[in-house]
Amino acid sequence: MAKLRLGPIIRNLRGKWAGTVVQGGRDGLITREDVTPKNPRTDAQVAVRANFAKAASLFSNFNPSQAGQWNLYATTIERMNRVNGRKNNPTGFNVFTELTAKYLQVNPTGTPPSTPPTSAFGGDDVKFTLTASTGKLTFTADKPNASGVTTELLIQRLASGNRKPASNGYRTNQFFQFQTGSLSRDVALLPGNYAAAIRFVNKNTGQAGPLVPLTKAVISFAVEEGGTKSQKKAA
């Protein structure tokens, strides 16, 4: 890998050139291909954007003491830059908007906390099995969710049964708190090939655990003489 020592002029380089965008980041200059991003406007994506906008508006109205609490909380969180591998801390604004957007996703009519969480979120000790049947996937938990924890059910449609799911291709289908007597949840789907995942979310703070992929499931329909026969399998 080539290394470049940046001079004063290069350090301030910004803009587009020959199909490449150069921009500043917290760890220095970042280059990327100049592409026109897609702008999907599904109901779910519009709702997510609205949640982030509401979170940003709430933070802008914080007094210095409130903002300071979130900035201090952010120093306890360490993340890794996927481009250069360097570790850094997010800003208080970033942490607040992320937690608040997730909180509003789980509690659309709720009032987001204005103070940071007081403890880390360890997720939940619940295991899931995934089964496929005509027009649906069924998530079954081995025990109820802990108090205050809900499960985010995520789905990714695949082009074929042999296609490997993309780590960033899962989309939220719904949130469900598994309880005694309600340990199974159906997700209605059109015929096709799907991968599924779950993520645990603290309903009170918006803190979320890591995404956990589940077994890939395939739903297909084959036409036979005299009618239609449903075929399903879980791989």
How do the domains of the chain map onto residue ranges? 43-106, 128-234
Q: How far is the C-alpha of 222 from the C-alpha of 55, rounded, in Å?
A: 47
> CB within 8 A of 173, min separation 6: which ones?
153, 154, 155, 187
Tell me the whole-structure pTM to 2 decimals: 0.76
Per the model's pLDDT, the better-predicted residue between 101 and 231 turns out to be: 101
Q: How far is the C-alpha of 23 from the C-alpha of 12, rounded, in Å?
A: 9
- Reported as a single tens digit per residue, the pLDDT across 14-47 is 566 555 666 655 555 555 665 555 666 677 778 8
Average pLDDT over residues 116-144: 94
Per the model's pLDDT, the better-predicted residue between 225 and 122 turns out to be: 122
Position 136 pLDDT exceeds 80:
yes
What pLDDT sits at residue 109? 94
Query: Which range, of 51-55, 151-155, 210-214, 229-233, averages the lowest pLDDT?
Result: 229-233
Contact 167, 196 (CB under 8 A): no
Tell me which fold the domain 128-234 belongs to. Immunoglobulin-like (2.60.40)
Strand residues in 27-69 grouped as ranges (E):
28-33
What pLDDT sits at residue 226? 39
Tell me the backbone φ, ψ of residue 226, rounded to 5 degrees.
Answer: 90, 0
Tell me the backbone φ, ψ of residue 129, rounded to 5 degrees.
Answer: -115, 150
Position 188 pLDDT exceeds 60:
yes
What pLDDT sits at residue 129? 94
Q: Which residues pair with 116 in a beta bridge?
A: none
Helix axes 64-74, 92-106, angle to 10 degrees: 90
Tell me the backbone φ, ψ of residue 21, rounded to 5 degrees.
Answer: -105, 130
Position 117 pLDDT exceeds 60:
yes
